[in-house]
Protein backbone atom coordinates (compact mmCIF):
# COMPACT_ATOMS: atom_id res chain seq x y z
CA UNK A 1 0.00 0.00 0.00
CA UNK A 2 2.81 2.37 0.97
CA UNK A 3 4.61 1.91 -2.34
CA UNK A 4 1.41 2.46 -4.29
CA UNK A 5 0.84 5.68 -2.34
CA UNK A 6 4.37 6.88 -3.15
CA UNK A 7 3.77 6.28 -6.87
CA UNK A 8 0.46 8.11 -6.67
CA UNK A 9 2.17 11.05 -4.97
CA UNK A 10 4.93 11.05 -7.61
CA UNK A 11 2.19 11.50 -10.21
CA UNK A 12 0.85 14.36 -8.08
CA UNK A 13 4.28 16.00 -8.31
CA UNK A 14 4.39 15.44 -12.08
CA UNK A 15 1.02 17.12 -12.59
CA UNK A 16 2.11 19.97 -10.31
CA UNK A 17 5.14 20.62 -12.48
CA UNK A 18 3.05 20.54 -15.65
CA UNK A 19 0.69 22.97 -13.92
CA UNK A 20 3.44 25.46 -13.14
CA UNK A 21 4.70 25.43 -16.74
CA UNK A 22 1.20 25.91 -18.12
CA UNK A 23 0.36 28.61 -15.58
CA UNK A 24 3.69 30.32 -16.22
CA UNK A 25 2.84 30.59 -19.92
CA UNK A 26 -0.70 31.76 -19.18
CA UNK A 27 0.32 34.35 -16.58
CA UNK A 28 2.67 36.16 -18.96
CA UNK A 29 -0.41 37.53 -20.71
CA UNK A 30 -3.09 37.33 -18.00
CA UNK A 31 -1.24 38.26 -14.78
CA UNK A 32 -0.36 36.27 -11.61
CA UNK A 33 -3.51 36.82 -9.53
CA UNK A 34 -5.71 36.23 -12.59
CA UNK A 35 -3.94 32.95 -13.38
CA UNK A 36 -4.27 31.70 -9.82
CA UNK A 37 -7.93 32.68 -9.70
CA UNK A 38 -8.59 30.80 -12.92
CA UNK A 39 -6.77 27.74 -11.56
CA UNK A 40 -8.94 27.68 -8.44
CA UNK A 41 -12.17 28.38 -10.34
CA UNK A 42 -11.68 25.61 -12.90
CA UNK A 43 -10.56 23.23 -10.13
CA UNK A 44 -13.77 24.01 -8.21
CA UNK A 45 -15.96 23.44 -11.27
CA UNK A 46 -14.28 20.14 -12.02
CA UNK A 47 -14.56 18.92 -8.42
CA UNK A 48 -18.21 19.98 -8.14
CA UNK A 49 -19.14 17.67 -11.00
CA UNK A 50 -16.84 14.95 -9.70
CA UNK A 51 -18.30 15.04 -6.18
CA UNK A 52 -21.88 14.98 -7.42
CA UNK A 53 -21.22 11.72 -9.24
CA UNK A 54 -18.46 10.01 -7.27
CA UNK A 55 -18.29 11.70 -3.86
CA UNK A 56 -18.65 9.24 -1.00
CA UNK A 57 -17.86 11.66 1.83
CA UNK A 58 -19.98 14.43 3.28
CA UNK A 59 -19.28 18.01 2.16
CA UNK A 60 -21.76 19.40 4.69
CA UNK A 61 -19.61 18.00 7.52
CA UNK A 62 -17.33 20.98 6.72
CA UNK A 63 -19.57 23.06 8.95
CA UNK A 64 -18.89 20.77 11.91
CA UNK A 65 -15.17 20.30 11.27
CA UNK A 66 -12.81 22.01 13.77
CA UNK A 67 -11.85 25.45 12.48
CA UNK A 68 -8.10 24.74 12.60
CA UNK A 69 -8.61 22.08 9.97
CA UNK A 70 -10.27 24.64 7.71
CA UNK A 71 -7.38 27.07 8.14
CA UNK A 72 -5.28 24.98 5.73
CA UNK A 73 -6.94 26.82 2.83
CA UNK A 74 -5.03 29.94 3.85
CA UNK A 75 -1.74 28.03 3.81
CA UNK A 76 -1.93 27.59 0.05
CA UNK A 77 -2.60 31.30 -0.41
CA UNK A 78 0.23 32.12 1.98
CA UNK A 79 2.56 29.96 -0.10
CA UNK A 80 1.62 31.89 -3.24
CA UNK A 81 1.99 35.32 -1.64
CA UNK A 82 5.32 34.56 0.02
CA UNK A 83 6.66 33.11 -3.24
CA UNK A 84 5.58 36.17 -5.18
CA UNK A 85 7.38 38.34 -2.60
CA UNK A 86 10.61 36.33 -2.68
CA UNK A 87 11.01 35.70 -6.43
CA UNK A 88 11.86 39.27 -7.53
CA UNK A 89 14.53 39.55 -4.80
CA UNK A 90 16.34 36.22 -4.98
CA UNK A 91 15.14 34.66 -8.27
CA UNK A 92 12.91 31.70 -9.17
CA UNK A 93 15.47 28.94 -8.65
CA UNK A 94 16.64 30.15 -5.23
CA UNK A 95 13.01 30.67 -4.15
CA UNK A 96 12.02 27.16 -5.23
CA UNK A 97 15.01 25.54 -3.56
CA UNK A 98 14.49 27.43 -0.30
CA UNK A 99 10.78 26.54 -0.50
CA UNK A 100 11.53 22.84 -0.97
CA UNK A 101 13.96 22.93 1.96
CA UNK A 102 11.24 24.45 4.17
CA UNK A 103 8.75 21.84 2.97
CA UNK A 104 11.06 18.91 3.77
CA UNK A 105 12.23 20.22 7.13
CA UNK A 106 8.71 20.93 8.39
CA UNK A 107 7.44 17.66 6.86
CA UNK A 108 9.98 15.64 8.85
CA UNK A 109 9.29 17.66 12.02
CA UNK A 110 5.52 17.09 11.73
CA UNK A 111 6.17 13.34 11.35
CA UNK A 112 8.60 13.29 14.27
CA UNK A 113 6.18 14.86 16.73
CA UNK A 114 3.01 13.52 15.10
CA UNK A 115 1.47 17.00 14.93
CA UNK A 116 -2.09 17.38 13.63
CA UNK A 117 -2.82 13.80 14.63
CA UNK A 118 -0.57 12.45 11.85
CA UNK A 119 1.49 9.25 11.84
CA UNK A 120 4.44 9.42 14.24
CA UNK A 121 7.63 8.66 12.32
CA UNK A 122 10.78 9.40 14.30
CA UNK A 123 13.67 11.36 12.82
CA UNK A 124 16.33 8.62 12.95
CA UNK A 125 19.76 8.38 11.29
CA UNK A 126 18.25 6.94 8.09
CA UNK A 127 15.86 9.87 7.74
CA UNK A 128 18.64 12.35 8.51
CA UNK A 129 20.70 10.82 5.68
CA UNK A 130 17.69 11.00 3.37
CA UNK A 131 17.44 14.73 4.10
CA UNK A 132 21.17 15.11 3.49
CA UNK A 133 20.81 13.51 0.03
CA UNK A 134 17.87 15.80 -0.74
CA UNK A 135 20.06 18.80 0.14
CA UNK A 136 22.90 17.47 -2.04
CA UNK A 137 20.42 17.07 -4.86
CA UNK A 138 19.15 20.65 -4.44
CA UNK A 139 22.77 21.84 -4.57
CA UNK A 140 23.29 20.02 -7.89
CA UNK A 141 20.10 21.55 -9.30
CA UNK A 142 21.28 25.00 -8.27
CA UNK A 143 24.67 24.38 -9.93
CA UNK A 144 23.13 22.78 -13.01
CA UNK A 145 20.80 25.73 -13.53
CA UNK A 146 23.61 28.23 -13.14
CA UNK A 147 25.58 26.33 -15.80
CA UNK A 148 22.76 26.23 -18.32
CA UNK A 149 21.89 29.89 -17.74
CA UNK A 150 25.43 30.84 -18.73
CA UNK A 151 25.21 28.77 -21.92
CA UNK A 152 21.96 30.47 -22.89
CA UNK A 153 23.13 34.03 -22.38
69-88: which residues touch other proteins (CB under 8 A)?
A: 69-79, 82-83, 85-86
The count of C-alpha atoms lying within 13 angstroms of the C-alpha of 36, restricted to the half-sphere facing its C-beta, is 10
Give me the least distance between CB of 63 and other proteins, in Å please.
10
Handedness of CA 91, 92, 97, 98 (dihedral sign): positive
Main-chain dihedrals φ then ψ at residue 3, nearest 5 degrees: -65, -40
Give me the least distance between CB of 147 and other proteins, in Å please.
6
Give me the least distance between CB of 56 and other proteins, in Å please.
6
Q: Report if residue 122 touches other proteins, rule: CB under 8 A.
A: no
Residue pair 110/117 in contact by the 8 Å Cβ criterion: no
d(CA 45, CA 42): 5
Q: Report if residue 152 touches other proteins, rule: CB under 8 A.
A: yes
Residue pair 30/38 in contact by the 8 Å Cβ criterion: yes
Task: Count the residues of the shown chain that bind other proteins, applying the rule CB under 8 A.
Answer: 115
Give me the least distance between CB of 31 and other proteins, in Å please.
2
Ramachandran category for residue 31: left, alpha or beta (phi over 0 → left; psi -120 to 50 → alpha) = left
Using CB under 8 A as the criterion, what x/- string covers residues 126-145 for binding other proteins?
Answer: xx-xxxxxx-xxx-xx-xxx
Nearest C-alpha neighbor of 123 from the set 104, 142, 138, 136 = 104
Using CB under 8 A as the criterion, what x/- string covers residues 3-42 for binding other proteins?
Answer: --xx-xxxxxxxxxxxxxxxxxxxx-xxxxxxxxxxxxxx
Give me the least distance between CB of 18 and other proteins, in Å please.
5
Site for other proteins in 82-121 (CB under 8 A): 82-83, 85-86, 89-90, 94-96, 98-108, 110-111, 115-119, 121
Amino acid sequence: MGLFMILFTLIGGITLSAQSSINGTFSRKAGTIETTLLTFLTGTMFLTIFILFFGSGNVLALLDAPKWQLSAAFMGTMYLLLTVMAVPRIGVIATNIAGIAGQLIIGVIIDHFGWFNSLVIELDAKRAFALLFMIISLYFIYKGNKGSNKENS
